[in-house]
Amino acid sequence: MSADTIISIKNLYKVFGKNPKGAMKLVHEGMGKDELLEKTGHVIGLNNVNLDMERHRIQVVMGLSGSGKSTLIRHLNRLIDPTEGQILVDGQDVLQLDTEALRNLRRHKISMVFQKFALFPHRTIMENVGYGLENQGADKNKIKETAERWINRVGLSGFETHYPGQLSGGMQQRVGLARALATDAEILLMDEAFSALDPLIRTEMQDILLDLQNELEKTIVFITHDLDEALRIGDTIAILRDGEIVQNDDPQNILMKPADSYVANFMKDINRARVLRVRAIMKPLEPDDQGPLVKGSTTIEEALQIFAETEGDRLIITDRKGNKVGHLTVEDLIRGMRRPTTEEIEADPEIA
């Protein structure tokens, strides 16, 4: 585990059924999910998952329904125990924690935001947000001060004495986010946290999360089935299929170099011009390169607009520090919008 890795999952398996240990023998012999279910009645939830998550980054885990993404996130704070495998949080094996140590992990190290808000209907917004601090044993003054601060940060000032039933879904999810952040936990687990919200409110919540992350630099594990959401907020995306990780990579690399046809099909309806960044398709900088400077995070769509408004045959790409690192022509941008066919990917997985 590297110095920047905060969560490390090693050889993780989860089999649901009456005799998971016995079923694991068949899994290790190569029996697949469908055959195992047919012959034993057991279900493979996770199949040899290996995944390192970097500190202060947003790790997205996505997949179709039944792919194992929610099962995976619930292993991190041991709401579910694995059949086999290891989970390290800051080098500590959470599977070896006793009851008290696990309770402390959940109180101080890891917070969770649920899809269905999971607020206490009989508690006010102030009391809901302060609940984690109450569990930590904080005094009343600290609870009140911290809860008020986070209620304000998520835009709910004035609603402190309201109850969850008096708030809209989007407002309730803000309360859930404020409650998770109030404990000052380093790791934030978000299981389909925005999927129950209307599209406009969902986008607003994504904006709030990204703004807070720029300031707080938490380690966030974000579960979603929505590819647009994953591409928008994820620093890294892990794609699950039938309990296995098919690809874990930078979103730009997943777009440019899908691991297989399954991943490519996931990406096929994405508007690459609006999502793909010019740093992913730029050419090496040449000594005599001249042209407008654009950041590597600029999208293809934005770069084409710059071309339309300026003269010249190329753009000069810069890194975060403003250093010139590459160039692009209009032809490069148009080429970048073309998605590889399934046949091309199967023939050459490294195709861009």
pLDDT attached to residue 116: 73
Q: Name the nearest CA neighbour of 278 among 329, 351, 323.
A: 329
Query: 188: part of which helix (H) or strand (E)?
Result: strand 187-191
If you average pLDDT over residues 224-235, what whole number do you get? 90
Task: Centre a 10 Å sphere on the Cβ of residue 39 and count the other Cβ atoms it contains.
Answer: 11
Domain boundaries, the chain: 55-249, 272-342
CATH of domain 55-249: 3.40.50.300
Nearest to 109 by CA among 14, 224, 221, 223: 221
Q: How far apart are CA 292 and CA 317, in angstroms?
A: 9
pLDDT on residue 264? 86
Examine the pLDDT at 224 and tell me if it is beyond 80. yes
pLDDT at 36: 94
Q: What is the pLDDT of residues 102-159, one digit of tens each?
A: 999 999 999 998 877 789 999 999 999 999 999 888 999 999 999 999 999 999 999 9
Q: Do the Cβ atoms of 4 and 219 come closer than 8 Å? A: no
**Is the pLDDT reported for residue 339 higher than 80?**
no
The pLDDT, as a whole number, for residue 270 is: 84
* pLDDT number for residue 273: 87
pLDDT of 145-202, one tens digit each?
Answer: 999 999 999 999 999 999 999 999 889 989 999 999 999 999 999 999 888 888 888 8
Task: Tell me: pLDDT of 63 over 70.
Answer: yes
pLDDT of residue 256: 84
Closest CA to 224 of 4, 55, 62, 34: 62
Quickly state the pLDDT bin for 348 (edges 50, 70, 90): low
User: CA-to-CA distance for 198 and 121, rounded, in angstroms?
Assistant: 22
- Residue 217's pLDDT is 94
Confidence bin at 352 (pLDDT 50/70/90) = very low
Distance from the Cα of residue 148 to its chain's centroid: 28
Q: What is the model's pLDDT at position 141?
A: 93
For the segment 66-104, what is each residue's pLDDT rounded down to a tens digit? Answer: 899 999 999 999 999 999 999 999 999 999 999 999 999
Check pLDDT > 80 for residue 212. Answer: yes
| Beta-carbon count within 10 A of 157 CB | 10
Neighbours of 9 (CB within 10 A): 21
Task: For residues 208-234, give the mean pLDDT.
Answer: 92
Average pLDDT, the chain: 90
CATH number for region 272-342: 3.90.1280.20
Question: Confidence band (pLDDT; 50, 70, 90) for 341?
Answer: low
Q: Which residue has the tokens 């969850």?
A: 164
> Helices in the chain by DSSP H: which ranges?
20-28, 33-40, 69-76, 99-104, 125-129, 131-136, 140-153, 169-182, 199-216, 227-233, 251-256, 261-267, 272-275, 300-309, 330-337, 342-347
Q: Are 124 and 171 in contact (CB under 8 A)?
A: no
Element (H, E) at 158: none
| Mean predicted confidence (pLDDT) in 292-314 | 90
Residues 24-36 pLDDT 10s: 999 999 998 899 9
State residue 344's pLDDT score.
Answer: 60
Distances (CA, A) of 105 to 3, 60, 99, 123, 128: 20, 22, 10, 24, 20
Nearest to 43 by CA among 254, 242, 221, 265: 242
pTM of the model: 0.85
The Cα–Cα gap between 201 and 169 comes to: 9
| Per-residue confidence (pLDDT) for residue 335, from 0 to 100 | 86
Per-residue tokens: 12:
């993780």
